[in-house]
Structure 1
């Protein structure tokens, strides 16, 4: 099973078999970066005192996580490319 950060990703293990390790590293890196960006946005949101900024960073947090989820879902639905 492939691991992204501290999360296991069975879809990426399938992708590795179908497409090779280099492509999997690219997907893993993209997903991991989106998850880190989401965490950073959540941290900034939690520190912000202005409600408008809190809302903006909350939206960024949700958006980055949604993008990472969509990449994982795309891999699960089409592991052979």
Structure 2
């Protein structure tokens, strides 16, 4: 039984269905907002080669940092 489902509050199946629905709605709202923001900022960021260079360097730095963290992780 998941820790967020409590038998004293009614049928477990209904609780899981409602919590799943809330999660789906929240996900749609968050990803929808990200999509709208990306659609608005995308053309503006693609105008300048300098901006693209900075974004590429930033992404590369993030990936190198993640790789180093992964390499240092203990199993």
**Rg: which structure is higher?**
2
User: Do these two structures clear the TM 0.5 threshold for a shared fold by scoring above it?
Assistant: no
**TM-score category of the 2 structures, normalised to the smaller one:** 0.3 to 0.5
Larger RCO of the pair (alpha carbons < 8 Å, separation 6+): 1
Q: TM-score under structure 2 normalisation?
A: 0.41
Q: Which has the higher strand share?
A: 1
